[in-house]
Amino acid sequence: MVQWLLGAGVLQLASAASLGWLIALDRADPAKLKMIGIKVPRRLLQLHLDQVMMGVILLAVATAFPDIPDWTAIALLIGTTLNPLLFLPLAFAPKLDEALGYRVISVGSFVASTIGFVGLAIWFLFLR
């Protein structure tokens, strides 16, 4: 399971680095982003920053806790992957966060993150 955490971590960092080009394009020529349908470029910056943070977190967790329980790792993978990605559709459809389906996925993502991070703390402090 640690390999999955490491893989997700490096993919998130690679994705964040790639998004930097769109952020730079927004600074240089904002009209080009609008041409491809991006209505709220700031959401790309949020996605970029969140992916950097989550990628580093996953790499740190995988390195520090190579014997992490599978259930904790799975919850972390789900939460740390979905949380940043939820900013992407909002770049194209700013009011999407008002839709029930989006809210359900968002809550599920936060629940997974909470289970993963709190579960990791409980496991490390009391169950290891």
Res. 115 pLDDT band, cuts 50 70 90:
very high
Neighbours of 8 (CB within 10 A): 21
Strand, coil or helix: 96: helix
Distance CA 22, CA 9 (A): 21
pTM of the model: 0.93
Using CA atoms, how far residue 91 sits from 5, 22, 42, 107, 108, in Å, is 27, 12, 7, 19, 20
Residues 6+ apart with CB under 8 A from 1: 68, 70, 73, 74
Q: What is the pLDDT of residues 55-109, one digit of tens each?
A: 999 999 999 999 999 999 999 999 999 999 999 999 999 999 999 999 999 999 9
